[in-house]
Amino acid sequence: MRMLHTMLRVGDLERSIAFYTELLGMQLLRRKDYPGGRFTLAFVGYGSEPENTVLELTHNWDTDAYDLGDGYGHIALGVEDIRGTCAGIADKGGRVVREPGPMKHGSTVIAFVEDPDGYKVELIELSSRADT
């Protein structure tokens, strides 16, 4: 496994992209609108995604601002066999809170597990990774 990205919800996507790219020197790696879900994903980082962990900025079109703390989303881990990984986590007493399957507004196969404090960890099946 390896860490793929950390997700933050942002109220003003353009302002956030400018901050991370212009002030912190990251590059905008990709961006995609999901009209059916009324959100946009933008990925920024210091290098290409196959070799680096990046930051996912999620802008929900109908939300202008978040309370500090509510903006944190999840970390993501790439896995080869998502179903086997979830089964192994469950067998060891872990909590799978979203079973493996395609993301709601895309085709990438994802699942979510919770850590002991309730923080979400997204698992992404690497062979299906196209939308997230």
**122 belongs to the catalytic site:** yes
Q: DSSP of 39-94, one letter per residue? A: EEEEEEESS-TTTS-EEEEEEETT-----TTTTEEEEEEEES-HHHHHHHHHHTT-
Q: One of 49, 51, 80, 122 is an active-site residue; which one?
A: 122
Other C-beta atoms lying within 10 Å of the C-beta of residue 124: 21
Query: Known catalytic residues?
Result: 122
